[in-house]
Structure 1
């Protein structure tokens, strides 16, 4: 029996030891809440509570001291398990797992230098304030100092330090006007300094304990014990608060009963003593005054020394410790590293104690690197700048740039070296050189002169043919294009010699023009220049690529020189593609028409035409076929107008028509209708049957404008309105259109601000199984809360976003926000359904669209199966082949795809079967009228039958009545969404209504409408 008992005890001890869990606790200097001790442990209010709970729960605590910033970073990366005494904020709650129970409340307190007076935050305007780096009262809280300063429109100068003690030291030295510390630290420590407490309070917070993510069970154990303590008095919780926050306790005054005679004696003695002390003080006051003067001088001298010492410490801290560049102190005689800053430890992969004493030979991988730390070699490089290769702690070699110079530290002659990692830069330079060589080899293969010209006319690159035409110059890279083309110090100018570079900068489009060039042998030749823009990634002009074709022989073939001159003049004033007047000739004819109209008191009409969807034809069938179509449009327009009228090509797919001698509005209307009907006829180009329409804006002189420039502007605005009205129509200019354009521009500016601010919000509308009532999904819907206009309808701002290209950034924001919301709900332990996000055509056409989706999924860590992307039928039919490839890539990642607004895009069955989609969404326009309209009902029946034949799920949008629900359910429609089931709701309301209050909706039956 005794043996059995011993074995049981041994087994129990082994189990207890095995069950103990070791926790890594971060500690930093923040007395009396938490502070490291010299013996490697810690003390403070939070440590008392934590160690008692750890002993009760069987935890083993290991303490890891560091600065406040270091502890925060370690907690986020998981290097430590928990951090005591941390303020709770919404932003931090997303990164750390806070205890539910609050240990104490705290707030920020402003302390002032004794020479400074301040009653409110406004009194601090222009003053210097010492703050603790990453402190919640400084930044990150709801009412932190930075937010208050911004809201009140004042300016402060900040001095960031690592702790409150350093903040009080700097304030006491007079180097700052004020300091921001916690209420607790200030109340316990401000009496040690020559500073004053101000009435300025800010950012009340709850101080808790935070665990690293994924440690919820331990956090719950801590909360349980602390909750019991807080509901019981007395308890360790209240004892610890008294111990650390009121260490001296309350003074209790005791009453003593003394006889009256004794009181008289005592009073007498006190009076005598008072007289004696007064006499003595008179004689000692003079000595005290003298000593006081001496003490004041000593104090001032000490303050000066303290300020200088603090400044030196700050300078060292900023220049060495906090420098983002790796810095090493090296003993040149021993060829050893003496010390390195944080950046050096991070770069080389050594702890600081490991780095100190490391031999130069261990990190210098080549002779150039060793020379950087050799005083004799440094004599050969006066600037101390060398490049080499360094070996990191893991053996990796990196290219570095070193700046080394002598430095005296504590009487020792050392070398200070700043190291920059240039591995990527050198690789990029090599890649750039390879690309430049490759590009040079390509353009050298072109038989005509070719140059790449910067906006300031400098030649960046040219091929061999162009270089051969430069007279007597070897340094061709230093030349300007006009020096090469016609040996002039001035750029091309004038109507007879326009500059192609300036023309491309002005229009942003390719241009073609005729020039006279001087050849290397001094002869003159006529060349046709063609120039196109090269854009930077941010949309700015990088350069212009210009080619030249010698057309001298072609022009000389003309019989007479006068004919050649006519030809040159014609080419200078006409579009080379369509032979229509170009902008130069158009401007002249418009001015002439207006001048004649003024003299004869007649009217002039200007028609501004922009071809609809021409870019799709150009991108799909090629620019060659697009050019042929533009020529056909020009010929068709000439056939629609009178001989006295002018048809011009402005550039790209824009045309202008001048109607002079206009009698009335009917004449202009008739002409606009004739042009529309003329363009409505199909074009046959290289065997392709093409259809094109135009949006036409019309302005009238003198009713709409008094000069050519304003008349053009009015016609442009009217054309823009025609685009908004659905294209393929004409619109006359009206003053309210101008206001409408300004309103659209104002909305565009507001939309750009909204994207960077907090005005955009996602609403979520539930989707239900019609037969069972189960919650099967939700659709993310974008809302814009304009600060002045209130809720702006998506039908208003989405077209603006599409036209300006903002829809790409907005679409990425919506996708990221929806994915983050799903993950947030899943982290709460909720079970949200799959979220459907709408895609725009612009997003789908972006080359990096797939990369954007991949990056969002990586950043949010969302399983792709929880994401569904909706694409409208009309968008899918614009670029069918490319869209099929893009959708296949999305499907391969596990993302569900659906066709939105199905039935409105005229897709064919053959195409539909090729799209890798799983869902069809019936447009709400069909659902809304299907009960009263046989045609709409037939369309719904056809879509349901089509979905069934292709084994696709069908969702009906816009279900608002029980009759619609019953009809669709009887027809076999799978799912639906609409106001009958629930309106779009903000995320918080959706969570409370569908995921928390009614969790049975997901995966169980929802009562169907009666």
Structure 2
């Protein structure tokens, strides 16, 4: 048989308290009864003593005078004493003269009390013993009284216990069980719902303190839940809604717009050149800039619109209930103006731009994913058109995006399947017309499509590590070609190879370039590494260290497109460069006016002062060539001399001159006479 024990704390308390009360009450009752019994027995003993003394005093004289009748009469009267068990009179000769017993026989289980007293007659001659008196009392009456009192006491005890137990039961339920039940119910209720309802409590006892702590815990849990919810849906840096909350709000806005036939605009904004600023000034200043931009964007839109941080330096805005695309364009213009206000960072005043792509509901998409994707595509288009501007999405962008994706996927196979080719563009001495080197330029001949322009696949490769693999392929082929020209008797032809900024983010990529040239057995001096100014500015210290490593191994270093980037002269002095390549945009401006020509002259003068070599890119007219020659720019390249050519078409340029010394060999397409 299984014994079911109570589970409630009130019942458990009663299970402990009531037996204790019962045991305590019974113990007290027995103790009081014992004390009462002792008192009654002491009183009985006292009565026995008094009775014996009184009777003895009355019997002495009759015994002395031999008055037997008086003795018998006095002695017989003792039989009426209720407690008397036996009285015995013994004379001086120890002869029992009289015995009297009480009317009640000795009860079973009673106790007898005995008293003996000598009977002495006082005389002038002295005290004379005339006999002795022996008296015995029993405690039967006392026991009867005790039993009678015990029965009444038990009734009182039971009644008291029931009364006290009931009061205890009520007190436990009111003071302990019911409050604990309220606390338990509150715990269950708050655990099963999202809301936290505090427990109202008036008492100031220990339970009141527990409830107070419980209510405080509820408040803290509620606050923590609010904090967690906020963190789950907001960006911790800018405190703007994050991607998840943005998608939720945009989904709701789409539902409302569909129901009421309204338009929505999604603006995808990206800070121009943020990575350069972040890397140059540090992440702390970059975070300050992000906060500033977030505040400016939020201040530009309406309260009903949503501004969210998408990630990094990207923000997405949802403009609800717009009347026309022009309204979205107006907001974009305000954003560009607001963000363009200079920002003071680390004592440096920075002017930044923002590029914005815009998609519209319903024409550009009817769901969250499509609208954001199309706005992102429009952003890409805005960046491609010069940055710090905005552009609306159109379907042609989607086609171009699909094209970029197709190229990015196919390019991986192109490297493995050897679909890439190297073209070479000659570098020409502006005075003699001799070829003094070449620049290796990669082309992709895609089966079924033909030659894909570098502008279509190089940007895709730059976005991933594919550009590193492309660069290694170019270096390997360029080394093999220089060795091939040497074997064919063309001499040592220096070749320039462009390296991507990604090569200067990891030391192992530069080590791999060095290893490729060493494996080919080619002197590194015949390879010139071309890098852009932006390559150095991404991580100047690392880039400079890696450029010096290349220079120490014997490679030539050239700055490509000089003047188009930051042109930071402080870093220029630290770079181990040998050659500056004047950007084609400045060369094109030579024909346009005095300012363009003066810029080129300034670059040439600076390079000559620093002892650097010069190459002018993009020479397309005879006037440009004449200006460069007169300005003491010794080397040029461009379509005026030759387009980039495959090896089979480039080698005839190398064979065209006599004598065979490479440095004296003129350009076949433009003989020396035409350049003078």
What TM-score results when the alignment is normalised by the length of structure 2? 0.63
The CA deviation at 1:992 is: 3.7
Q: 1:356-396 deviations in whole A, cap 9, x for unaligned?
A: xxxxxxxxxxxxxxxxxxxxxxxxxxxxxxxxxxxxxxxxx
Q: Distance in 2 between matches of 1:739 and 1:1005?
A: 47
Q: 1:237-288 deviations in whole A, cap 9, x for unaligned?
A: xxxxxxxxxxxxxxxxxxxxxxxxxxxxxxxxxxxxxxxxxxxxxxxxxxxx
Q: Distance in 2 between matches of 1:564 and 1:768?
A: 71
Q: 1:557 to 1:943 in 2, by over 3 A?
A: farther
The CA deviation at 1:605 is: 1.3
Structure 2 residue aligned with 1:712: 372
Q: Does 1:770 align with 2:430?
A: yes
Q: Distance in 2 between matches of 1:591 and 1:773?
A: 66
Structure 2 residue aligned with 1:964: 624
Partners of 1:754 and 1:760 within 8 A in 2: yes
Structure 2 residue aligned with 1:918: 578
Q: 1:106-155 deviations in whole A, cap 9, x for unaligned?
A: xxxxxxxxxxxxxxxxxxxxxxxxxxxxxxxxxxxxxxxxxxxxxxxxxx
Q: 1:676 to 1:898 in 2, by over 3 A?
A: same
Q: 1:682 to 1:767 in 2, by over 3 A?
A: same
Structure 2 residue aligned with 1:752: 412
Q: 1:703 to 1:931 in 2, by over 3 A?
A: closer
One of 826, 839, 842 as aligned partner of 2:499:
839
Q: Distance in 2 between matches of 1:705 and 1:980?
A: 48
Structure 2 residue aligned with 1:869: 529
Q: 1:688 to 1:973 in 2, by over 3 A?
A: closer
SS, match of residue 848 in structure 1: helix
SS, match of residue 832 in structure 1: coil
The CA deviation at 1:689 is: 4.1
Report the count of equivalent residues. Answer: 458
Q: Does 1:812 align with 2:463?
A: no
One of 255, 262, 272 as aligned partner of 1:612:
272
The CA deviation at 1:855 is: 1.1
Q: 1:895-927 deviations in whole A, cap 9, x for unaligned?
A: 111122222224143332322211122223333
Alignment of 1:267-306 (within 5 A): none
The CA deviation at 1:603 is: 1.4
Structure 1 residue aligned with 2:396: 736
Structure 1 residue aligned with 2:8: none
The CA deviation at 1:724 is: 2.9
Alignment of 1:333-482 (within 5 A): none
Q: Distance in 1 between matches of 2:230 and 2:373?
A: 27
Partners of 1:832 and 1:995 within 8 A in 2: no
Partners of 1:558 and 1:564 within 8 A in 2: no
Q: 1:915 to 1:645 in 2, by over 3 A?
A: same
Q: Distance in 2 between matches of 1:1008 and 1:942?
A: 29
Partners of 2:340 and 2:354 within 8 A in 1: no
Q: Does 1:628 align with 2:276?
A: no
Q: 1:952 to 1:579 in 2, by over 3 A?
A: same
Q: Distance in 2 between matches of 1:640 and 1:807?
A: 40
Q: Distance in 2 between matches of 1:558 and 1:945?
A: 76
Partners of 2:269 and 2:315 within 8 A in 1: yes
Q: Distance in 1 between matches of 2:218 and 2:347?
A: 34
Structure 2 residue aligned with 1:463: none
The CA deviation at 1:557 is: 9.1
Structure 1 residue aligned with 2:569: 909
One of 695, 702, 706 as aligned partner of 2:362:
702
One of 549, 553, 576 as aligned partner of 2:236:
576
Q: 1:841 to 1:726 in 2, by over 3 A?
A: farther
Structure 2 residue aligned with 1:7: none
One of 583, 594, 599 as aligned partner of 2:254:
594
Q: Does 1:640 align with 2:300?
A: yes
The CA deviation at 1:680 is: 1.3
Q: 1:178-218 deviations in whole A, cap 9, x for unaligned?
A: xxxxxxxxxxxxxxxxxxxxxxxxxxxxxxxxxxxxxxxxx
Partners of 1:877 and 1:907 within 8 A in 2: no
One of 931, 947, 955 as aligned partner of 2:615:
955
Structure 2 residue aligned with 1:200: none
Q: 1:1005 to 1:629 in 2, by over 3 A?
A: closer
SS, match of residue 576 in structure 1: coil
Q: Distance in 2 between matches of 1:766 and 1:930?
A: 21
SS, match of residue 698 in structure 1: strand
Structure whose residues are more often strand by fraction: 1
Structure 1 residue aligned with 2:453: 793
Q: 1:691-730 deviations in whole A, cap 9, x for unaligned?
A: 4433322221222222223222222222232233333222
Partners of 2:490 and 2:654 within 8 A in 1: no
Q: 1:910 to 1:631 in 2, by over 3 A?
A: closer
SS, match of residue 663 in structure 2: coil
Alignment of 1:854-893 (within 5 A): 854-893=514-553
The CA deviation at 1:826 is: 2.1
The CA deviation at 1:934 is: 1.3
Q: Distance in 1 between matches of 2:241 and 2:491?
A: 66
Q: Distance in 1 between matches of 2:641 and 2:479?
A: 23
Q: Does 1:664 align with 2:324?
A: yes
Q: Distance in 1 between matches of 2:527 and 2:591?
A: 33
Alignment of 1:165-184 (within 5 A): none
Q: Distance in 1 between matches of 2:332 and 2:230?
A: 28
Q: Does 1:894 align with 2:554?
A: yes
One of 342, 348, 360 as aligned partner of 1:682:
342
Structure 2 residue aligned with 1:945: 605
Q: Distance in 2 between matches of 1:767 and 1:818?
A: 16
Which segment is superposed worse, 863-872 or 772-781? 772-781
Q: 1:466-492 deviations in whole A, cap 9, x for unaligned?
A: xxxxxxxxxxxxxxxxxxxxxxxxxxx
Partners of 1:903 and 1:939 within 8 A in 2: no
Q: What RMSD over aligned residues (CA atoms) do the two structures have, in Å? A: 2.7
The CA deviation at 1:652 is: 2.8
Structure 1 residue aligned with 2:637: 977
Q: Distance in 1 between matches of 2:233 and 2:665?
A: 75
Q: 1:282-336 deviations in whole A, cap 9, x for unaligned?
A: xxxxxxxxxxxxxxxxxxxxxxxxxxxxxxxxxxxxxxxxxxxxxxxxxxxxxxx
Q: Distance in 1 between matches of 2:227 and 2:396?
A: 45
SS, match of residue 610 in structure 1: strand
Partners of 2:504 and 2:542 within 8 A in 1: no
Q: 1:941-997 deviations in whole A, cap 9, x for unaligned?
A: 111111111111222223344443333222212122234433332223333431476
Structure showing greater relative contact order (alpha-carbon pairs closer than 8 Å, 6 or more residues apart): 2
Partners of 1:930 and 1:937 within 8 A in 2: yes
Larger radius of gyration: 2
Structure 2: state its 5+ residue gaps. 1-193, 195-212, 667-671
Q: Distance in 1 between matches of 2:346 and 2:430?
A: 52
